[in-house]
Structure 1
Amino acid sequence: MIREHVTLAVQDHGGKGTPLLLLHGAGRTLADWAAVAPLLARHHRVLAVDLRGHGYSPDGTWSIPEVLADIEAVLDTHGIPGALPVGHSLGGMLAVRYALDHPGVTPGAVNLDGYGWGRPGQYVGLDPAYVEERLAQVRELAATVAGQLVPPGGLKDLLAQQRAMSAQLGIPYELLEAGVRRSVHERSDGQLELRPGREHALEMLAEIDSLDPFELVRRMDRPLLLGRALRPVPSVPGLDRFDELMAAYAKGLARDLAELAHSRAEVTVADIDGTHAMLLENPRPVADAILGFAAGLSDDRP
């Protein structure tokens, strides 16, 4: 089947060596890689992209096959079809899926903290029925805020939130500001919205729910780096009712990743000193984990 693709916005960080393609998370942009990419480009050819409907990339129906076709087109255009896909959050799941769909071409994959909401049994100490109920609330909340419009003066409020996050997590404010400004776009009616827009954001959420990261890992027969954030995201007023859920999931995730690393020779697990915002919060250990993994790949393709 022929897949339609959109022409993605690309930031070329240059460099030489094994090519890397950097993929961001849901609702984020290539700006998330601003602190990590220069560290990687000392040893690798590095490209970062805005996924369809994000940042400066065009809109399009948000489905996994179309997104993968976008990625393939970028690599073909730049003459690096054998690049190593490196993703964070949703981008990490896409990296693994891309590698699975391109056997014999893609040397492996890197998934940094991209595990979705998991399975009820991964929430250590909690009743599965209770977990299902709470996850339904999480999904409902995510759908409510998907593709939200920015009210008059709202951009100022968003930037104020980023400044508070900068102080809380120690992330340089200019990195957070760049991400917000890249995500907020003016619609044809003059209103501002956070990309992706609501229609495509809801499509994206449905696609995320369709992915089982551990099932993807079980299918992988090439080297795979799985990164895990060691620290929880700080509690947010109004969302702290989910703190118990997230703490239980962190325990189950640590358990299951350790089992994977023990049972699968091709899987490497890296514990990253940071929260889910690791790319901006603590770029050096993220880059070191990627560099160490890439150095171990036997096939150094141009």
Structure 2
Amino acid sequence: MKINFKKSYFFSYLILAFVTIVMVFPFYWMIVTSLSKPENLFRYPPKLWPDFQWKNYIDMWKSNPQGVPWTRYILNTIFVATTTTLLSLFNSSLAGFAFARLKFPLKNQIFMLILGIMMIPGELMLIPNYLTLYRLNWLNSYQALIIPFGASVFGTFLTRQAFKQIPNELWEAAQIDGCSIGRFYFNIALPIIKPTLFALALFVFLGAWNAFLWPLIVNTDPRFMPLEVALYSFIGAESTNWQLLAAAATMATTPVLILFLIFQTQFIEGISRGAIKG
């Protein structure tokens, strides 16, 4: 019995090790490429250890894609990701609170309709959203990068689940004491679901930081481009500077990876809290 138990643990760890290698290796290979010499990129068998060519990072930083310095791209990404996160947190939590605590006609039907939007592939909404921004004259602006993601169906669902876990007795006691809906929302409900809000903030921030397709479509002005789109400038029609592209990709990926590793416990806790009660 003990032997079978140990075997099951062994195979479990073996599978976990294999999955870990599959997921981590692309990131490791990106770092190796960013530090390699050009002649070693396509050699066979491949060289799994970098050449430590730190000059690649210096050349990447001096490259200034499309005439714009990397500091501008970094600041654009930080501004867009932070603003999108704050706006999505406010709108999603407000909608989640309404669906969890308020009473209004067709509440459940409207909520199910909103959830149905999650089933629609995002690519189907690209053209309608683009035409909307075109008519609003918002192309090539920060609004085009922020407003379409200022609310989240997933965030609404997650915060609704978290708000529903607040005891009804607390809600009723607050009403008896004359607490308004707005005060209960800001002073009582939001602090209680703080772990869920933290998880949602991290989720939205990572999504906004890594966004590529939408910024590529709505922005042709490099002054408003985020990091992910700036990376695309290294891909040429005839040749691609793989070392500089990998160096820039490493620079863009490392901050969010560190952020997730630091706050992964809070992220898992927040997601779990928001998914317990239906």
Q: Which has the higher helix share?
A: 2
* Structure with more contact order per residue of length (Cα contacts < 8 Å, sep ≥ 6): 2
Task: Give the structure with higher Rg (CA).
Answer: 2
Q: Which has the higher strand share?
A: 1
